[in-house]
Amino acid sequence: MEQGLKLNVSQKQTQKLALTQQMQQAIAILQKNQEELAAFIMDKANENPLLEVSTSLAPVTNDYRPTNGSNARSFEVGMVPTPDHYTSLFEYLLDQVHLNYRDTPIRKMMLFLVEFMDENGYLTISLAEAATKAGVTDIIALDALTLIQQLDPAGIGARNLQECLLLQIERDPEAPPLAYIVVEEHFENLADRHWLEIAQHYQVDLAEIQKIMDYIQTLSPAPGAHFGQIDDQFIIPELEVTQEDGQLTLQYLQTGLPKLKFQSNYFEKMTATGDPEVLAYLTNKKKEYDWLTKTLEQRRNTIAEVGRAIVLAQQDFFIKNEHPLKPLTLKQIANTVGIHESTVSRAVNGKYLKTNFGIFELRTFFVSAIAGQSTSNQEIKKRLIEIIQGENKQKPFSDQKLSELLSAEDIEISRRTVAKYRESLGIPSTSKRKRFY
Strand partners, 358: 355
Work out the mean pLDDT of the chain and round it to a whole number.
Answer: 80
Q: Which of 220-234, 320-334, 348-362, 416-430 has the lowest mean pLDDT?
A: 220-234
pLDDT of residue 420: 85
How many CB atoms neighbour CB 427 within 10 A?
18
Residues linked to residue 53 through DSSP beta bridges, in sequence order: 260
Q: Which amino acid is at 166?
A: L
Residue range 128-142: mean pLDDT, rounded: 91
Is it the case that residue 10 has pLDDT exceeding 80? Answer: no
pLDDT in tens, 326-384: 888 888 899 999 989 888 888 888 888 888 888 888 888 887 765 555 566 777 888 88
> For every residue of 313-357, which 3-state class applies, written as one string?
HCHHHHHCCCCCCCCCCHHHHHHHHCCCHHHHHHHHCCCEEEECC
The pLDDT of residue 71 is 35
Task: Give the model's confidence band at 5: pLDDT under 50 very low, under 70 low, under 90 confident, else very high.
Answer: low
| pLDDT at 69 exceeding the cut of 60 | no
Residue from 110, 213, 201, 130 nearest 165 by CA:
213
We find that the CATH architecture of domain 377-433 is: Orthogonal Bundle (1.10)
Where are the domains positioned within the chain? 21-75+237-365, 89-216, 377-433
Beta-carbon contacts of residue 52 (< 8 Å; ≥ 6 apart): 45, 260, 261, 262, 263
Q: Which amino acid is at 405?
A: L
Please tell me whether residue 54 adopts helix, strand or coil conformation: strand
The whole-number average pLDDT for the span 128-151 is 91
| Segment holding 104, helix H or strand E | none
Segment 23-36 mean pLDDT: 79
pLDDT per position as a tens digit, 113-134: 998 988 889 999 999 999 999 8
C-beta contacts of 314-318 below 8 A and 24+ residues apart: 314/365, 315/66, 315/68, 315/70, 315/248, 316/70, 317/72, 317/365, 318/70, 318/71, 318/241, 318/243, 318/248, 318/355
Query: Per-residue pLDDT for 65 more than 70?
Result: no
DSSP assignment of 293-310 equals: HHHHHHHHHHHHHHHHHH
Omega of the bond leading into 153 within 30 degrees of 0 (cis): yes
C-alpha–C-alpha distance, residues 54 and 256, integer Å: 9
- Of 40-54, 71-85, 228-242, 388-402, where does the model show the most confidence? 388-402
Residue 14 pLDDT > 80:
no
Q: Residue 261's beta-bridge partner residues? A: 52
**How high is the pLDDT of residue 11?**
65
pLDDT at 6: 63
Model pTM score: 0.53
Banded model confidence at residue 55, pLDDT cuts 50, 70, 90: low
